[in-house]
Amino acid sequence: MTLLQTPKKNKRASKDTLLLYSFLMPSLIIVFAMTVVPLCYAFFLSFQDYRLNKPQFAFFNGLNNYIEMFTNKAVLTSIGNTVFYTVVSVSASVVFGLLAALIVNQIKTGKSFYRIAIFAPMMLSSVVVGVIWKFLFNNQLGIVGYILSQMNIAAPDWFGNPRWAMASIIMVDVWQWTSYVFLLCLAGLESMNMEPVESARIDGANAVQIFWHIKLPTILPLIQIAAIFRFTWAFRGFDSIFTLTKGGPGIATETMAISIWRYAFQQYNIGLSSSLSVLMFAILMVLAMLILRKTFRKED
Amino acid sequence: MKKNKVVLKVICYLFASAMALIFLFPLFWTLITSFKSYRMAFAQPPVFFPPIDFSNYVSYLSRGDFMLCLRNSLVVTLVSASVSVVLGVLAAYALVRGNLRGGNAMAMFMLASRFVPPVATVIPMYMIYRKIGLYDTLPGLILLHLAMDIPYVVWMMRGFFQEVPLAVEEASWIEGCSRVGSLARIVIPMSKAGLAATGVLTMIFSWNEFLFAMIMGGVRTKTLPISMAMYMGETGIEWHMMATAGILVLLPALIFSILVHRNLGAGLSFGAVKG
């Protein structure tokens, strides 16, 4: 109702509304054209047998791509990998990020240094991060292997052994994105009202009690936001996995995003790739609705 | 009691330093590797403090396509960041102050598009681009960046604009200020810290972007992250040069983010932390 409070004649008000619509339109049109249009196209393609190298032979094949998606073992493996990768990586980074924020918040001298040091990884291109870790984990020359050998520990074949490859790509993701949780939690802690903490301390509460009953509830909304965005990014993660393993060895580290790329550009199977895209989109939209409903309810 | 506090403080510093080490060591190692020669990068035991030598940088900068990739990266980053900030600020303002019919639905739509997985849109876009001739062109690449950046700017600026009291703006209208005038002279200055963080982060997202550039870009639109990934594919083991390329790509992003580091928390919380 805000507009009606401004003293304006009707004609001016409608002109004003027109102006505001024109503020909005360019953004809406671009976002619509670049997200809704391709998603509809992907949906359309997901019902076809469409080969990228012979588009002239494309034909509708009903639900075949979806049936294949849920029966093909490789696709199911990649869905399983995605869930595993996402859950482990998100939980680890939430725990580490929260811990780091709590500790750095206690520090007075040199706080900026620690803040910058810990947020640095998320500002880097995932490709650069992938290359750096590929180098650090290199079997013959990697510094990690060297340090481990100094401690008489035999370094595993980080990216060659299927189990270690999954652990390694998760580790790299946690290394890069713990920063995000850290930044949000730290911002929350810094803007927190300290009075309840002080009075609890006077009443004899210990650090654990203060954390559990005062600090955690205050920054919980931020932890939720961090977790939801971390989930989104890990779930659709592509760049660092692509740089580190391209989904290998075999398909041990192949996530849905990598599968979508591989089916489209290596196997030229646009139909199957599109149906996976549709599935991924649907899952993320459910998540988006959860967070958006929360945001909008809060505002009302 | 006092002794306890000192011990606690020491523990905090130890933990924080251990974490800083984990996060910084890979960067330190990349930096010193970029100063090493081909042979020194392979040395066992590894060399921790090589002489500072910029010859890898000189040779990387004189690579045939470096200038092209740098130009492409700069054009894509600067154009998409500035256009998305301008359009996003206007849209966010209209959503906050407009009370428009369907405004809430439009806000929802903008915000929901942040969740769309890029890999799901980039493949159909690739096929569309091939048909309409936007494949391997900078405008085509920039359009994809805009679709990624605008919703981010809208979401961020919407949060910051909501903090600006309407009364201040109304006062300026009474004195004869127009919409555009009050936006430029009151609303934007009052949220300039948030705007700076948003703008810098938009630039960093675009500078670092890889997937769009890989799928939509051919020879003409290669960006720096692509040139780096391709270089790794070609040479495989030239780690001293990979490290050099890595430093060149990461340094601008790091420097810019340090400039706005106090507002980054607000800039990344999508409105949950007010700057």
Amino acid A156: pLDDT: 84
Asked if the Cβ–Cβ distance from B26 to A136 is below 8 Å, we say yes
Q: Could you tell me the CATH number of the domain that includes residue B118?
A: 1.10.3720.10
Asked if the Cβ–Cβ distance from B246 to A131 is below 8 Å, we say yes
Which domain, by its residues, includes B179? 60-268
Nearest chain B residue to A261, by CA: B119
Residues in chain B: 275
Amino acid B259: pLDDT: 85
* pLDDT, mean of residues A56-78: 88
At A162, list the tokens: 């299927």
Nearest chain A residue to B260, by CA: A116
Cβ–Cβ contact A199 with B under 8 A: no
Question: Cα separations (Å) of A49 from A61, A213, A278, B42, B120?
Answer: 6, 57, 15, 49, 18
Residues in B closer than 8 angstroms to A126, CB to CB, are 208, 210
Of the residues A79, A135, A220, the best mutation for testing chain B's interface (the one with the most B CB atoms within 10 Å of its CB) is A135
Q: How far is B205 from chain A (nearest CA, A)?
A: 8
Q: How far is A162 from chain B (nearest CA, A)?
A: 21
At A210, list the tokens: 């203060």
ipTM: 0.88
Q: Indicate whether A4 pLDDT > 80.
A: no
Residues in A closer than 8 angstroms to B9, CB to CB, are 106
Name the percent of chain A lying above pLDDT 70.
Answer: 94
List Cβ neighbours of A7 (8 Å cut-off, separation of 6 or more). B174
**CA-CA distance, A19 to B179, in Å (whole number)?**
9
SS3 B157: helix
Amino acid A66: pLDDT: 92
* pLDDT, mean of residues A2-11: 50
Closest Cβ opposite residue A23 in set B23, B94, B173: B94
Closest Cβ opposite residue A236 in set B119, B246, B253: B119
Q: Where are the domains of chain A?
A: 2-45, 72-299
* pLDDT, mean of residues B8-29: 91
Contact between B42 and A141 (Cβ < 8 Å): yes
Amino acid A88: pLDDT: 97
| Number of domains observed in the structure of chain B | 1
- β-bridge partners, A269: A51
Question: Cα separations (Å) of A280 from A64, A122, A283, A285, B215?
Answer: 18, 24, 5, 9, 19
**CA-CA distance, A130 to A239, in Å (whole number)?**
8
Task: Just give the CATH number of A72-299.
Answer: 1.10.3720.10
Q: Indicate whether A284 pLDDT > 80.
A: yes
